[in-house]
Amino acid sequence: MQTTAIVLNGPKSLSVEEVKLTEPGHADLIVDIHHSGISTGTEKLFWSGEMPPFPGMGYPLVPGYEAAGVVVEAGRDSGYKTGEHVFVPGANCYDGAFGLFGGAARRVVTDAARVTRIDGGHGAQAALLALAATARHSMAGLDKALPDLIVGHGVLGRLLARLTLAAGAPAPTVWEVDPLRMSGAEGYEVLHPDADERRDYGAIYDASGRGDLLNDLVSRIAKGGEIVLAGFYTQPLQFAFPPAFMKEARFRVAAEWARDDLTATRSLVESGALSLDGLITHTSPVKNAAAAYRTAFEDPGCLKMILDWEQAA
């Protein structure tokens, strides 16, 4: 059994290829992917060759961990049936290519325990669930303060702001320096950092991935305030200790989402408490994948690029 997949053969060497799939087991599903998202965080680093050593990394690799599709074959022990719509957070099912993260393919084989049932009416927006769950993971849990400042108005920053409002908390301030990303706020204010004089934020969430901002962020928190690192950082992080000492600053790293985050996020979306509208700015047929990846990574006006796999059938 073969599939059409996005294959990274090396940094900036991307093609659409036929790849052999591993045989499914009794607990596996075969899923036809309809839409997959391009991550401007980890996927960009694999594409550019800047990703530090990472478990399971190697070329050639199939990227993608934001995919949604339909079950076309269900193993007898899977608990699923054909025709069900599912979110697929990647798949390691390729013979001759690393499945990191493996969701950017027309058809995948995956353990049923990895997928999540979704409403087929979400369409391409279903591919955003992983990013929404990542935002939720950084905020949920005991002793975690909701953000009153979010740095970056990309998709992750927007989801953090929307989740803050959905939780009933006061509207956060969002910083953005790119004029193309200043618009699109729903119930909160977006400012250039130079226009913000406040220096008593209790919780600052960085969704920019820029480690060079730490000293500025420390100067903006109240005493005992927290800085949450919600992006992905390729370089060692550093900051001046005396200002952080005076502020008794706290730093927290937000890791990837867990299954309960995805379940909770799906419920928020299906109940209407969390909207995914306005986050997908670009859609591309798979045949134009090379150009789509460049646009996703190099065009600041592109919030989220979605690959349409239905046209590749």
Q: What is the DSSP letter of 248?
A: T
Q: How many helices (H) and strands (E) does the chain have?
A: 7, 16
Distance CA 33, CA 26 (A): 20
CB 103 within 8 A of CB 33: yes
- What are the start-end ranges of the E strands in the chain? 2-10, 13-21, 28-38, 67-74, 85-88, 94-95, 107-111, 116-117, 149-151, 173-175, 189-191, 201-206, 221-229, 250-253, 282-285, 305-308
- What is the value of pTM for the model shown? 0.92
Distance CA 157, CA 163 (A): 10
Q: Which domains does the chain carry? A: 2-117+281-312 (3.90.180.10), 135-253 (3.40.50.720)
Distance CA 77, CA 75 (A): 5
Residue recorded with tokens 């690393």:
98
Residue-level pLDDT, tens digit, the chain, 313 residues: 999 999 999 999 999 999 999 999 999 999 999 999 999 988 898 899 888 777 767 899 999 999 999 999 999 999 999 999 999 999 999 999 988 789 999 999 999 999 999 999 999 999 999 999 999 999 997 678 999 999 999 999 999 999 999 999 999 999 999 999 999 999 999 999 999 999 999 999 999 999 999 999 999 999 999 999 999 888 899 999 999 999 999 999 998 898 899 999 999 999 999 999 999 999 999 999 999 999 999 999 999 999 999 877 5
Check residue 313 and give its pLDDT: 58
- Strand, coil or helix: what is 114? helix
Residue 78, judged by CB atoms within 10 A of its CB (0-12, 13-18, 19+), counts as buried
